[in-house]
Amino acid sequence: MQQYLYLIPALPLVGFLLLAAGGGQFRRHITAIIGAGSVCLSAVIAITLGAQFLLYPPVEGAYHQLLWHWFDTGKLHADIGLRMDALSLVFICIITFIGALIHIYATAFMRHDRDYARFFACMNLFVCSMLLLVMADNLVLLYLGWEGVGLCSFLLIGFWYESPANCQAARKAFIVTRIADTAMIVGLFLLFRELGTLHIREILQQAPQHFTTGDHAVTWIALLLLLGGMGKSAQLPFQTWLPDAMAGPSPVSALIHAATMVTAGVYLIARMHTLFELAPVIMELTAVTGALTLLVAGCSALVQTDIKRILAYSTISQIGYMFLALGVGAWEAGIFHFFTHAFFKALLFLAAGSVIEILHHEHNIFKMGGLRKQLPLIFRTFTIGAAALAALPFLTAGFYSKDEILWYAWSAAGGHPLLWAVGLLGAFITALYSTRLILVVFWGEMKTTPGALPPPAMNVPLVILALFSVAAGWMHLPQLHDVLPETALRAVHPPEIILQGVAILITLLGILTGYMLYYRYPHTIREWQQSAGLMSVRNFLFAGWQFDRLYDALFVQPFVFITQLNRNDVTDQLYTGIAGLHMRLSKLFSVSQNGSLRWYVAGLLMGILFIITLALLR
């Protein structure tokens, strides 16, 4: 069946083309069938191919389909070629399956929006671009998908373009990720200069023979690729765009956070693992970046009041765990956390979208409260998602994947006790703000009266995602060790059972702290709010550690100042001078064209006289 591989990205692309070309003419139910149906069909084909892949593993460990010789110039050859191995299979199934559920949810969520067709056209292109990114057999095609998700995120974050704030958020996401993308494209140029190919399989085969460990060239290449991945995955210092991206509709947030854009960086690093292993310094930098990011984002999530911004910061934090795992060499643990995180993060965003819609577009969690009896289905599914996010021991998928990362953060060859301690602190903070979220939204007094309950199309995806938020932790991924290196352990490390016990204790302590602060003794928080020092810290974290202000001071304001100084720059003055000279000459010579016959005859005679004089003088 591998001959049908091309249908996986092609079906969403066809949906996009149909809706973009004639969407305005289609009835809404036809638009929904094209938009959601194309992604559902893609998911069915992906799951069928995935099942065949697992039951009858291909001889070379991958399905490959060459569709077209794209271009051939000099030494650079690029094809439209698709590849499905164990790593890309995990991503393909997540993108299509969760993408299909989000599309189904969106058919009801966006039912009152006037740009119904434009929304589904952009969503389909988003899914298609991400599929191209993970299925590409060469880095040129991968980069096409990479830029495609950037474009679609811009279109979807700014979907409600009447609001200037939404347009600014879309522009910010586009510009910040473009800065990181510039680093990535330079890395691809360096890679091609060194190896003479951008075909992924050839790169992974040639790199160990061409580079030595710690070689300057491969270190620079890995660093530039890491920067590209950090931009797409919103890791320090590129994390500022993601919380503002909440301006888009909730299904867009779910798609960006669970199945598409922010996971692109994780995929790129895992796919290029050979280059990173040859650059140990960059591996350490990846782990440190992940550890710092999970801490910074977790602290910000702790004080946010907008339900979607809390989830946005939690995504940055959880992607930080994935970077931490990849950086210490625990490749499979990082991908496993991506797998489980996709289900509970999609669930949380979709459930949050339902709450926001029922409460008349209220985002502030402190204006919600007391919803557990009025919205029992949303309450139960949201609680399951939050429990998975908090890594509630033994019952949720998040526990199994995060526990594995914490274990390897110390015991893996690239691990360190300090990385483990930071990961553990992040686990405490995550459990604390997850508990806060549940208690504030669903317990206490009701502050906003709910509107009409959502239709079944919005509830069914919540139930399915809730089931997977529990069961995904018990699933085994495909044979990733055929694609990714096995995790090497340090010579001396503590027993796993001890580290696991500590992690469980810390998680339960975080939940207990949240319970005490936001349910048992809520006056404690009010007393803290009387302290000017604590409120300053709270405001600092609320503003995302003031990174926006820092960037504004370091880059934006100096640039604006220079442009103001250079308003009348030399180039402008040169052009203005040339234009002025021509205008004066034109005005001077126009005197000779005054329409007077006597003036023309006199000029003619003067010319003749001048020529005769010259002839006589010779």
What is the arithmetic mean of pLDDT over 188-208? 95
Neighbours of 189 (CB within 10 A): 13
158 contacts 125 by C-beta, under 8 angstroms: no
Nearest C-alpha neighbor of 289 from the set 335, 331, 236, 325? 236
**Predicted pLDDT of residue 133:** 96
Q: Please enumerate in sequence order all residues whose Cβ is within 8 A of that of 433, keeping only pairs 6 or more positions apart, or say none.
A: 298, 301, 302, 310, 314, 514
pLDDT digits (tens, 9 = 90+) for 546-580: 999 999 999 999 999 888 887 777 778 888 889 99
Task: Name 368's bridge partners.
Answer: none
Average pLDDT, the chain: 93
* Percent of the chain predicted with pLDDT > 90: 84
What tokens were used for 371? 């919803």
Q: Identify the band that residue 170 occupies on the pLDDT scale cut at 50, 70 and 90.
A: very high
Nearest C-alpha neighbor of 420 from the set 330, 332, 485? 330
Residue 302 and residue 180: Cα distance in Å, rounded? Answer: 27
**Predicted pLDDT of residue 259:** 85
Residue 264 and residue 92: Cα distance in Å, rounded? Answer: 12
380 contacts 454 by C-beta, under 8 angstroms: no
What tokens were used for 412? 């893996």
* Percent of the chain predicted with pLDDT > 70: 100
pTM for this prediction: 0.91
**Predicted pLDDT of residue 584:** 92
Burial of 421 (0-12, 13-18, 19+ CB in 10 A): middle
What tokens were used for 561? 């100042």
**Predicted pLDDT of residue 251:** 95
Q: Identify the band that residue 618 occupies on the pLDDT scale cut at 50, 70 and 90.
A: confident
Instruction: Please tell me the least confidently modeled range out of 84-98, 384-398, 402-416, 588-602.
Output: 588-602
What tokens were used for 604? 């003619």
Residue 143 and residue 133: Cα distance in Å, rounded? Answer: 7
**Predicted pLDDT of residue 272:** 97
What is the arithmetic mean of pLDDT over 527-547? 93
What is the arithmetic mean of pLDDT over 303-325? 96
Whether residue 86 has pLDDT greater than 80? yes
What is the arithmetic mean of pLDDT over 329-351? 96
What tokens were used for 12? 């969403």
**Predicted pLDDT of residue 55:** 92
Whether residue 217 has pLDDT greater than 90? yes
Whether residue 127 has pLDDT greater than 70? yes
Q: Which residue has the tokens 């949050």?
A: 352
Q: Identify the band that residue 469 occupies on the pLDDT scale cut at 50, 70 and 90.
A: very high
Whether residue 1 has pLDDT greater than 80? no
Q: Which residue has the tokens 């409460």?
A: 359
**Predicted pLDDT of residue 59:** 85
What is the arithmetic mean of pLDDT over 339-355? 96
Whether residue 23 has pLDDT greater than 70? no
238 contacts 330 by C-beta, under 8 angstroms: no
Nearest C-alpha neighbor of 504 from the set 427, 430, 409? 427
What is the arithmetic mean of pLDDT over 7-32? 92
Long-range contact set of residues 338-341: C-beta below 8 Å, sequence gap at least 24: 338/90, 338/91, 338/94, 338/263, 338/266, 339/90, 339/94, 339/401, 339/472, 339/475, 339/477, 340/388, 340/397, 340/398, 340/400, 340/401, 340/469, 340/472, 340/473, 341/258, 341/398, 341/401
Q: Which residue has the tokens 């069938």?
A: 33
Indicate the domain borders of the chain: 279-520, 568-617
